Structure 1
Amino acid sequence: MNTNTQTTRLYHSALSPFCRKVRLVLAEKKIEVELVEERYWESPPDLKRRNPAGKLPVLRHRGNMLAESQAIIEYLDEAIPSPALMPSTPLERHEVRRLCAWFDDKFNDEVTVPILTERVWKKITRQGYPDSRVVKDGLRAIKEHIDYLTTLLETRRWLAGNSLSLADFTAAAHFSCLDYISDVDWDRSEVLRDWYATIKSRPAFRSILADQVPGIHPAPHYAELDFG
């Protein structure tokens, strides 16, 4: 492992949307990064030293240790201003932050956590079998989110407005985790499917689409840019 303190290094977990959003922004900014996979559920001893909150992701950039995914991606957008992923006006920036919070809080609580916990993390951590009722609740909730996002995309080119932003990468991070296990009903919304196909086709997505989680194979269409 390279011990150069100037190496950009991301301590992450492959199917974490919070880690993925940072990976996507790093790639969009064309920042080369060394990925270090952490089995965070085993409480690795160095994790709290890097981040007192004991959470991933943690990014080392320019010799600094950075934590909390939203703070990291906003830092990256300020530190590497091109391409800009935050709009120019306060109201537009508010909409980006609102949608980032929507996914990292509401969508995560109602959809990402229950589905991934039952379908993925229980298997990886050997904590028993999936609870089908929890999965059904998550699949029911995602329909409401898809409908809401569809209303946004019917009047906007991108989620927060007419420019690609941190909101799109945050949303794509969550959807990509769920799409890995084929738990997004893309047939429910053509406009949302087209949005995801567009962002999925960006070079920034390449490493995400190459992810392989041991013991859990991706859906057949996962890495197909046209959904197969």
Structure 2
Amino acid sequence: MWQLYQFPLCPFSRKVRLLLGEKGIGYEPVRELPWQRRDEFLDLNPTGQVPVMVDTERGVTLIDSSVICEFFEETVSKNAMLNGTATDRAEIRRLVLWFDNHFFGEITAPLLQERMLKRIVYKQSPDGQVLRSAMKAAVSHLDYIDYLLDHRTWLAGSTMSLADLAAAAQISIADYLGGIDWKGHEEAKGWYLRMKSRPSFRPLLAERMEGIPPPADYDKLDL
């Protein structure tokens, strides 16, 4: 069976887990805290980053969420998440990169640094200015999601795709860390509630990072 090395607040691991859930692929989650720099994990991935998927029986190791998702898109036909025409797939990939790079860099990464790493690794207090900047950036990104959903049923088109999984993975971490304000973003909120209601999402909502509780409405299916 596949093993997925990840930790609860890794958005890229969440993207992979959502895809695995949508495709019905079984796996064993393995808790890995990358900042611990375990030798055994560095042997799997010298960069020390999660997610990493391993099938020891077949001797296969997959590194990086994009690589993992593309691998299962190519090998498991059920519930394609890179679907449609070549133009459709290009738009899906564009939005995956948008959320993996821009949303992560401007919102998820600062929130993780200030509200997770500073607390459990460095034993420091968060920087309020950094948190305010991340939450302001989140508003702009929710505006963009509203715009997309004004023209589409899902983020990249008429059907759910990897773009929705990548976006929901990032937003769910930002939401866990108290960085999302849904006021004035009805389109984005409705889309996110649809994502939260999917069976693939339920295991993620049940997970907690020790010492870092989410907001009270984090796992509720209404906001």
TM-score range, shorter chain: over 0.9
Contact residue 134 and residue 179 of structure 2 kept, 8 A: no
The reply to whether residue 43 of structure 1 matches residue 37 of structure 2 is yes
In structure 1, the residue matched to 2:143 is 147
Q: Distance in 2 between matches of 1:94 and 1:105?
A: 16
Contact residue 47 and residue 55 of structure 1 kept, 8 A: no
Secondary structure in 2 matching 1:88: coil
Aligned residues: 221
The reply to whether residue 60 of structure 1 matches residue 54 of structure 2 is yes
Note the alpha carbon deviations across 1:110-144, whole angstroms, 9 max, x for none.
11111121012211113411001111111111111
Secondary structure in 2 matching 1:34: strand
The reply to whether residue 205 of structure 1 matches residue 198 of structure 2 is no
Q: Distance in 1 between matches of 2:178 and 2:132?
A: 14
Q: Distance in 2 between matches of 1:173 and 1:17?
A: 5
In structure 2, the residue matched to 1:95 is 91
Note the alpha carbon deviations across 1:166-191, whole angstroms, 9 max, x for none.
01000000011111123211123100
Contact residue 9 and residue 60 of structure 1 kept, 8 A: yes
Indicate the percent of aligned positions where both proteins have the same amino acid.
42
Q: Distance in 2 between matches of 1:68 and 1:39?
A: 16
Shift in Å, 1:89:
1.1
In structure 2, the residue matched to 1:31 is 25
Contact residue 73 and residue 82 of structure 2 kept, 8 A: yes
What is the letter of the counterpart of residue 44 of structure 2? R
Q: Give the one of 5, 9, 12 matched to 1:11.
A: 5
Contact residue 146 and residue 188 of structure 1 kept, 8 A: no
The list of structure 1 runs, each at least 4 consecutive aligned residues, that deviate by more than 3 angstroms after superposition, is none
In structure 2, the residue matched to 1:21 is 15
Q: Distance in 2 between matches of 1:210 and 1:25?
A: 17
Q: Which deviates more from structure 2 when the two are superposed, residues 51-60 or residues 158-167? A: 51-60
Q: Distance in 2 between matches of 1:154 and 1:71?
A: 31
Note the alpha carbon deviations across 1:75-115, whole angstroms, 9 max, x for none.
11221111111112111111111111101111111111111
Q: Give the one of 153, 158, 162 matched to 1:157.
A: 153
Secondary structure in 2 matching 1:213: coil
What is the letter of the counterpart of residue 54 of structure 2? R
Contact residue 111 and residue 177 of structure 2 kept, 8 A: no
Secondary structure in 1 matching 2:155: coil
Contact residue 146 and residue 188 of structure 2 kept, 8 A: yes
Q: Distance in 2 between matches of 1:10 and 1:166?
A: 18
Q: Distance in 2 between matches of 1:89 and 1:49?
A: 39
Q: Give the one of 111, 115, 119 matched to 1:115.
A: 111
Q: Give the one of 218, 221, 224 matched to 2:220.
A: 224
User: In angstroms, what is the RMSD of aligned CA positions?
Assistant: 1.2
Query: Could you list the runs of 5+ residues in structure 2 that have no partner in the other structure?
Result: none
| TM value normalised by structure 2 | 0.95
In structure 1, the residue matched to 2:192 is 196
